Amino acid sequence: MSVEKSHITIRIQVKGLVQGVGFRPFIYRIAHEHNLKGWVENRNDGVIINVNGTHDEVEQFINEIRSKAPVASNIHSVKSEKIDHEKFQEFKIVKSENTSEAITDISPDIAVCDACLEDLKKQAHRIDYPFINCTNCGPRFSIIKDLPYDRDKTTMDPFLMCDTCRKEYEDVLDRRFHAQPVACSTCGPEYELKIGDKSIQSFGQILKETCNLLENGKIVAIKGIGGFQIACDAQNEKAVNNLRNRKIREGKPFAVMFANAETLQEFVYLFPEEKKSVQSWRRPILIAQEKKKLAPGVSVGFNSIGAMLPYMPFHHLLFEKLNIPAIVLTSGNLSDEPIVINNDDAVKELTRIADAVLIYNREIYNRTDDSVVFSVNEKERLIRRSRGYSPEPVNLNQIVNGIFAAGAELVNCFCIGKGNQAILSQHIGDLKNLETLEFYEESYERFKKIFRAELSLVVHDMHPDYLSTRFAKDLNIEKIEVQHHHAHIASCMAEHDLDEKVIGVSMDGTGYGDDGHIWGGEFFICDLADYQRFNHFEYIPLPGGDQVTKEPWRTGISYLYKFYGKEFINIDLPFIKAIDRAKLNVIIQAIEKNINCPLSSSAGRLFDAVAAITNVCPVSKFHAEAPMRLESVANAGIDFGYPFDLGNVVSFESTIKAIVEDLLDGIDVAEISAKFHNTVINVIFALASQIRIETGINKVVLSGGTFQNKYILSRIEKILEKEGFEVYSQLKVPSNDGGIALGQLVIAAKLRKL
């Protein structure tokens, strides 16, 4: 029997995120290893491979497509079929005919891979070279200026490849075949450490000096992948406090980078899925439960740590030499401005915070903050979607082409629709200052250009004063406005391909309502096109308007006033006694005379009020601090709640009165907090059940910032599921306002069709 006869020809289709991640060279290499002939090509609907080989060879080849795929690829399906026998001379990569579709795929930045870490120790031209990368790892989105993704369209353009790198780049069997940022110590970018007027350029010296500074409690600004970061010893309280003081108005917990996975597990408890998240090639910051204490100033009283692992070659090289297990690594910015990405700005501005600035001479084009995730019910959830995640599209089952969704105001992300893909921008930030608005406008222009977006429709929040709304209104295309909480629910629906009537529960901080009031404790019966407000939390005046987010005590007073009248001032609570009488009277007058007292049904404000009344957090130093503190003190072992009243609205009169009684009885805040959380859970369950009875709808969609509360989300999901509801919560996109743009996008697509 001839060898040729035992050969079969198979056509394989691979779907998923397989473009811009070195997938075709990977296929080429494994085909070569298995002695298969044929070709691979990028098509609109994935990668197509035709191969010729023996049955066993082909079968093994197909298995390896899944088992050995490039780390940043995400294979949804591999389908193969036998086709008419064809004869091939060799295996080749067919140049993609359709370039229009290839442009939608830009890989997020990828943490340095294990093979490169090994090369760091043995490749002569890359010994300890801090910009090592390959087709499986390295910078992507942060350096890409335009598509197609070639070196001259990245910020690697000024670096001329040396002969050695060029050979690797051109050798299809090399791991660096067409790795656009390929570089080595002869031809690639270089670090430079600036300490005052001193400049250090030898990398060995830089490492030594950086270690020296950090080990001696100094603060160093370090250029990262997507922007500058500020580092100090995470076990040195003096250094941490210095950093906090120099970063004006910084009250948030700091993120921490640990030397390696083993060290990380000395300091935090990790569930298997958390381990997977924090070690993934995306290398996000994981909010994990603290096991061993760092400097108290790092976590500012929370029992969790925002933990991450090294992701740049530099981080690995640093920890090899550093006699410190963990460093604070926080965003390199002044208070609320976007993180600094440019060397000159860093030297000018960050020297106010840092004792030294570590720069390198490759430009960061697209700013990306570190992403932040947490895990609830064994699933990874996003809090901030940026480096390592953006601009990976969210695939939808509807066409959203040509739509621009402007997003909300806080933790803004915008979104561009391309075919059936939602391309969310990286985390832009709070659109409250000029610098952030400029970042927003610049990113909008870049996304439009890079993704070749022909925009014909813009969708924005109903809030007239959001800068994103104003920006949208100035665009000269058709406009649609969407209610904030409808967008939250739709965002979650989009993630789960839902296009039908659902029970929408939006528990959130704020959001402009149809009636001009501030919504945020909302129960909707809704689909993508429309919503009906079935019930909501009772309106409460917010004395001082926006000021209440920084001063939860105002909302606390407002709740007490509502349920007790003026007499509340005589209640014997430490919270009330601590407030200056004159100030108290001003607030009471403001409420009585309705001066700057917008009405709000917000869940976030209810949490604020309880955090204030219990004296857990009357004043807030950062966004959502009060609800976070209240959650962190809750005693997880208590499973009953307080009474509440369901009528035309959800009234918490009995709840607040019971909390006050408990406080007067000297009940521990840990118990009060747990009972309060349980009350909110019971309210959600009661209303979901009521809606199901009235409408027969069984799908519950949970979104809004309050669902970043682990206590609430973990329990409500389980309770609803136990009672037979189909429950949907956000996974790929944040349930806070960072996910709003996705919801806006799908609503606009739906309305456009109607």
List residues near Zn ion by CB under 5 A.
Answer: 113, 116, 134, 136-137, 162, 165, 184, 186-187
Q: Is 686 helix (H, G, I), strand (E, B) or coil?
A: helix
Decide which of Zn ion, Fe ion, none touches 165; Cβ closer than 5 to 8 Å per partner kind: Zn ion
Q: Report which residue's Cβ sits closest to Fe ion.
A: 508
* Distance of alpha carbon 739 from alpha carbon 491, whole angstroms: 6
Task: From the list Zn ion, Fe ion, none, pick the one residue 137 interacts with, judged by a Cβ distance below 5 to 8 Å according to partner type.
Answer: Zn ion
In angstroms, what CA-CA distances link 254 with 331, 411, 549?
9, 17, 21
Rounded least distance, CB 508 to Fe ion, Å: 4
CB of 120 to Zn ion, least distance (A): 10
Distance CA 283, CA 289 (A): 17
Residue 303 CB, nearest approach to Fe ion (Å)? 26
Which residues touch 221 (CB under 8 Å, ≥6 apart)?
228, 229, 230, 231, 332, 346, 350, 351, 353, 354, 356, 357, 358
Q: Which is nearer to Zn ion, 172 or 187 (CB)?
A: 187
Using the minimum distance from each CB to Fe ion, give the nearer residue, 244 or 427. Answer: 427
- For Zn ion, the closer of residues 11 and 125 by Cβ is 125
Q: Which is nearer to Fe ion, 270 or 741 (CB)?
A: 741
Minimum distance of Fe ion from residue 380's CB (angstroms): 21
Out of Zn ion, Fe ion, none, what residue 508 binds, judged by CB under 5 to 8 A for its kind, is Fe ion
Count Cβ atoms within 10 A of the Cβ of residue 507 and give its class: 0-12 exposed, 13-18 middle, 19 or more buried.
buried
Report, in Å, the least distance between residue 186 CB and Zn ion.
5
Specify the residue, 116 or 458, whose C-beta has the smaller distance to Zn ion. 116
Nearer to Fe ion by C-beta: 418 or 488? 488
Binding partner of residue 737 among Fe ion, Zn ion, none, CB cut-off 5 to 8 Å per kind? Fe ion
Q: Which of 508, 522, 625, 631 binds Fe ion (CB under 5 A)?
A: 508
Distance in Å, CB of 34 to Fe ion, minimum: 51
Dihedral angle sign, alpha carbons of residues 169, 172, 178, 181 = negative
Nearer to Zn ion, 172 or 751 (CB): 172
Distance CA 579, CA 128 (A): 58
Q: How many residues contact Fe ion, by CB under 5 A?
A: 2
The residue (of 165 and 458) whose beta carbon lies closer to Zn ion is: 165
In the complex with Fe ion, which residue's Cβ is closer, 422 or 576?
422
In the complex, the smallest distance separating the C-beta of residue 622 from Fe ion, rounded to whole angstroms, is 17
Give the angle 453-458-464 at the CA atoms, nearest 5°.
145
For residue 391, say if its preceding peptide bond is cis, omega within 30 degrees of 0: yes
Q: From the list Zn ion, Fe ion, none, pick the one residue 69 interacts with, judged by a Cβ distance below 5 to 8 Å according to partner type.
A: none
CA distance 254 to 61: 46
Considering only CA atoms, which of 371, 373, 372, 374 is closest in space to residue 386? 371
CA distance 190 to 313: 12
- What distance in Å separates the CA atoms of residue 650 and residue 648, rounded to the nearest whole number? 7
Least distance CB 410 / Fe ion (angstroms): 7
- List the interface residues with Fe ion, window 307-366 (CB under 5 A): none
Residues 6+ apart with CB under 8 A from 124: none
Q: Which of 684, 723, 677 lies closest to 701 in space, CA to CA?
A: 684
Neighbour-count burial of 594, counting CB atoms closer than 10 A to its CB (0-12 exposed, 13-18 middle, 19+ buried): exposed
Instruction: Name the minimum Å distance from CB 410 to Zn ion.
Output: 36
* Residue 639 near residue 676 (C-beta atoms within 8 A): no
Q: Does 522 bind Fe ion (CB under 5 A)?
A: no
Binding mask 726-745 for Fe ion (x = CB under 5 A): -----------x--------
Residues forming contacts to Fe ion in the complex (CB under 5 A) are 508, 737
